[in-house]
Structure 1
């Protein structure tokens, strides 16, 4: 079970079954559940901060080039050539992940604080830590995996529904012909 989508589904379904049996009406248990959720979020932020420190410590200034595809729903957008370093790319990816974490916290505040749902606190407490530890940055900088295959930069993104219908590229393109074409279109030459 190496596929994160499958493990997410299994953990979510299992956590929902466990959450149904929890005494969510008990105010004391609810307090423990809130503390557990907040602790998992603080732990996730601490892990991302540690990853950021590791990236800065390694200071990998290897240059990478890739082309971000044009936005499929915007006829005026063009493919964009990106030239960056491994350090800057990893810091940007970690920053995106942290922003996603904060959006999730805000959404959970709405669900629990305003809508009074309590089950998602338990489920999201588990899923957040799992997501952080399965992130590409954690695999590279905490677990020491080699940056090859799915971990080679720029990270490949799985195509969504729109990409599967239109045949558009799902993520950055790294082939030499696409990069050379983008350099010529942007007025750059080697």
Structure 2
């Protein structure tokens, strides 16, 4: 089971079955669920901070050039040339992952604090930690995998419905012809 979507589904379904058996009406159990959720988010944040420290320590200044595709819903948008370093790219990707973690916490505050749902505390406590440990920065800097295949920078993004309908390439383009064309067009450099 190397496919994250399948493991997410299996863990979610299993966690839902376990969550049904937890007496969430009991204030003591609810307090422990809240503590567990907050602890898993703090652990995830600590993992991302540790990854950030490792990226800064490695200080990989290898130049990375790629072309971000134009925004699909904006007819005036043009592909954008990005020139950065591996260090800056990895720090930016880790920052995106941390922002995603904060958005999840904000959503959980809404679900639990305002709507009074308790089951998601248990499920998201597990899923948040799992997604942190399976993130591309964690695979590279925590688990020590090589930056090849799916982990080659820039990371490929999963295509959505609009990308599959338009037939436009998904994610950044790294081929020399696309980079050269963007350089001639005067693409943006970061």
Give me the TM-score of the superposition, normalised by structure 1. Answer: 0.98
Distance 1:158 1:99 in 2: 19
Q: 1:141 to 1:9 in 2, by over 3 A?
A: same
Aligned to 1:183: 183
Distance 1:164 1:134 in 2: 25
Aligned to 1:24: 24
The residue correspondences of 1:159-170 to structure 2 (distance < 5 A) are: 159-170=159-170
Aligned to 1:142: 142
Task: Using the TM superposition, give the Cα deviation of residue 170 of structure 1 relative to its aligned residue in structure 2, in angstroms.
Answer: 1.3
Q: Mind listing any 5+ residue stretches in structure 2 that lack a counterpart?
A: none
State the Cα deviation string for residues 105-153 of structure 1 (Å, max 9, x = none): 0000000000000000000000011000000100100111000000000
Aligned to 1:97: 97
Runs of at least 4 residues of structure 1 off by over 6 A? Answer: none
* Two-structure CA RMSD over aligned residues (Å): 0.9
Aligned to 2:80: 80
The secondary structure found in structure 2 opposite 1:153 is: coil
The secondary structure found in structure 2 opposite 1:82 is: strand
Q: 1:26 to 1:18 in 2, by over 3 A?
A: same
Aligned to 2:108: 108
Aligned to 1:49: 49
Q: Mind listing any 5+ residue stretches in structure 1 that lack a counterpart?
A: none
